[in-house]
Amino acid sequence: MTENLRVLFVCVKNGGKSQMAAGLMGRACGPDVRVDSAGTEPGAAINPLAAAVLLEVGVDISAGTPQQLTGDLVQLADRVVVLGTQAHVVPVDGTSIEVWETDERSLRGIEGIERMRLIRDDIARRVGDLAINLEPRHP
């Protein structure tokens, strides 16, 4: 891994999954990687269940604020990760974009804190893999 890499996590509201991924990536990589998150249609606040389940593993995202996805954020990123298939990011030359198709447990009747823990664990596994394989953008 190279210092000063930038990773951008994106979802629709930027209140849950992308914030969770950013928090977990920050813990996994520390100051070597700049981590941002944004939403295509950001909500007003962090999902309290998302914040609660991350706090269970020692990551505090409760002070975060959803932000609007911009072309500048995409352009500055070495890697853009879109969580779920509802958010769409316009590619910028040289920026790698990948989509993590997350399993939506609510479709199977799993709700509340149990659902959020499963989402957290899935995202944590993917973030761990990304942190190990992260490489800078090549001009």
CA distance 95 to 80: 7
Work out the mean pLDDT of the chain and round it to a whole number. 91
The answer to whether 81 and 100 are in contact (CB under 8 A) is yes
Give the model's confidence band at 107: pLDDT under 50 very low, under 70 low, under 90 confident, else very high: low
The yes-or-no verdict on residue 111 having pLDDT over 60 is yes
The yes-or-no verdict on residue 2 having pLDDT over 80 is no
**Which of residues 108 and 75 earns the better pLDDT score?**
75
Q: What is the pLDDT of residues 33-84, one digit of tens each?
A: 999 999 999 999 999 999 999 999 999 999 999 999 999 999 999 999 999 9
The answer to whether 20 and 123 are in contact (CB under 8 A) is yes
Name the token pair of 113: 């804190």
DSSP notation for the chain? --TTEEEEEEESSSSSHHHHHHHHHHHHHGGGEEEEEEESS--SS--HHHHHHHHTTT---TT----B--HHHHHH-SEEEEESSS------TT-EEEEE----GGGGT--HHHHHHHHHHHHHHHHHHHHHH--PPP-
As a whole number, mean pLDDT of residues 106-116 equals 81
Name the percent of the chain lying above pLDDT 90: 76
Give the model's confidence band at 102: pLDDT under 50 very low, under 70 low, under 90 confident, else very high: confident
Provide the pLDDT for residue 25.
97
Name the percent of the chain lying above pLDDT 70: 92
Phi, psi of 17 (to 5 degrees): -60, -50
What is the pTM for the complete model shown? 0.92
